[in-house]
Amino acid sequence: MKKDRPYPKLYINCKAERSVKAGHPWIYGEEIVNCDAELKPGTIVDVMSGNSWQGSGFYNPNSKITVRLISRNGNDVFDYGFWKRRIAYSIKYRKTVMPGDDFKCCRLVHGEADQLPGLTVDRYGDILSCEIACYGMELVKEWIYRALLEVLETEGESISGIYERNELALRSKEGLPLYKGWYQCPGRSCPDSAVTEIVENGIRYSVDVENGQKTGFFLDQKYNRKAAARIAKGKTVLDCFTHTGSFGLNCALAGASHVTSVDISQTAIDMAMANAVKNGLEDRMDFVCRDVFEMLTQMSEGRNAEYDYIILDPPAFTKSRQTVDSAGRGYKEINLKAMKLLPRGGYLATCSCSHFMTDELFCKAIRAAALDAGVSLRQIEARQQAPDHPILWNVPETDYLKFYIFQIV
């Protein structure tokens, strides 16, 4: 490491040092012992434990996560070249794990998992949808966006525009404004529409990067949808919490005899119906706007065996450690209702998208549901998020999606 560095020093306690040495990139406010000066949000600091340099990161006193590490290499200089190398590395990884057409519709940057803290970049054809949840990253976003365009163009990929979805509540905690809209790329005009079309697993979708969920679409279940569809041929499928209809559409395309897609949101149902029509699958699908818990309760009480395949893709039941217990009860309850509804030999696909609901806790809820339902579960597959949402083993927060397929025996 160079001895003379232009970055102010910030000193951490032993607990933070152990965490950093174990590979975790976050330092919390209570772990900071001292710093050289009054620092502005977004300042790059050198993190020290005594006289030992631990890394460099973005500082923000407004955030509970006060430092987000960006480098552990003491020779790094945080200029445009540094950020372009990070972007190039992220894109090269996606070209490997999301080959062919999958690269046209995938997550290009997954925050800390790509050593780009607080940055999410999703690609939908020729549009990039970006979300920034870190003050320091906001300060270098012009470099980030320029690098994205340059690296993709070098790969022969044409991008027409960058849409910013900076509405995340976390931005307020970072001291950042909430907004959304097209980023004005130098020398480029913005696209006329925020609605584009993607193809995933052979299915066409309209994606609204302005108003759609998250950055426009849930990309992390891409290969789980394909896995669910592999056993759908000839089945009568109940697709719960359908949103855009993606699980149901994959099953219908794979040869399911019929698919019923359910969601409490009429907007979601309308979108799912439109996607079915777009793909010529409306004849083997129907759509119900209803509360899934209520519907499953009514059906299970009547022992209605109309469906032999149920898919549960609910929103996160918990977003904090404080509500994990109640979330566990929720996952148990909904899986219990599905198990009671399915006949022997039927199939269940179920998932959780919360980091706080660990795999161990989720499996505990499913086992409890099976016990109460009086059934045994034959596991067909255990899966996680698609590889464009990579998991770092030393950063457990990057591991969030649990997906299982079972047969009821």
DSSP 71: E
Q: Select which of 185, 240, 251, 353 is catalytic.
A: 353
Does the pLDDT value for residue 256 go beyond 60? Answer: yes
Contact assessment for residue 55 and residue 61, using Cβ atoms and an 8 Å cutoff: no
Cβ atoms of 376 and 334 within 8 Å: the answer is no
Task: Give the tens place of pLDDT for each residue, 44-58.
Answer: 999 999 999 999 999
pLDDT band at 2 (very low <50, low <70, confident <90, very high): low
Average pLDDT over residues 331-350: 95
Is 35 a residue of the active site? no
Q: Which residues contact 210 (CB under 8 A, 6 or more apart)?
A: 163, 180, 194, 195
Q: Please tell me which of 147-151, 188-192, 319-323 the model is most confident about, judged by mean pLDDT.
A: 147-151
Q: Which helix (H) or strand (E) segment is 17 a member of?
A: helix 14-21
Looking at every residue in the chain, the average pLDDT score rounds to: 94
Domain boundaries, the chain: 9-71, 80-194, 220-408
Place domain 220-408 in its CATH homologous superfamily.
Vaccinia Virus protein VP39 (3.40.50.150)
pLDDT tens digits, 264-312: 999 889 999 999 999 999 999 999 999 999 999 888 777 666 899 999 9
Q: How far apart are CA 36 and CA 38, in angstroms?
A: 7
- pLDDT at residue 317 greater than cutoff 60: yes
Long-range own/partner contacts, residues 147-156 (CB < 8 A, 24 or more apart)? 147/80, 147/83, 147/84, 147/86, 147/87, 147/88, 148/87, 148/91, 148/108, 148/121, 149/185, 150/84, 151/84, 151/87, 151/88, 151/91, 152/91, 155/91, 155/95
Please tell me the predicted confidence (pLDDT) of residue 222. 97
Global pTM reads: 0.93
Does residue 321 have a pLDDT over 90? no
CA distance to 50, 56, 148, per residue, from 84 (Å): 32, 17, 8
The Cα angle at residue 279 between residues 236 and 351, in degrees rounded to 5: 50
Q: Beta-strand (E) ranges in 111-190?
A: 119-124, 127-132, 161-166, 179-183
pLDDT category, 320, cuts 50, 70, 90? Answer: confident
- Counting residues of the chain whose pLDDT is more than 70, the rounded percentage is 98
Q: For residue 1, what pLDDT band results from cuts at 50, 70 and 90?
A: low
Pull the structure tokens for residue 276: 């079915």
Residue 55 buriedness (CB in 10 A; 0-12 / 13-18 / 19+): buried
CATH dotted code for 9-71: 2.30.130.10
Residue 318 has pLDDT above 80, yes or no: no
Residue 231 contacts residue 309 (beta carbons within 8 Å): yes
Nearest to 157 by CA among 83, 79, 209, 88: 88
The residue length of the chain stands at 409
Does domain 80-194 bear CATH number 3.40.50.11540? Answer: no
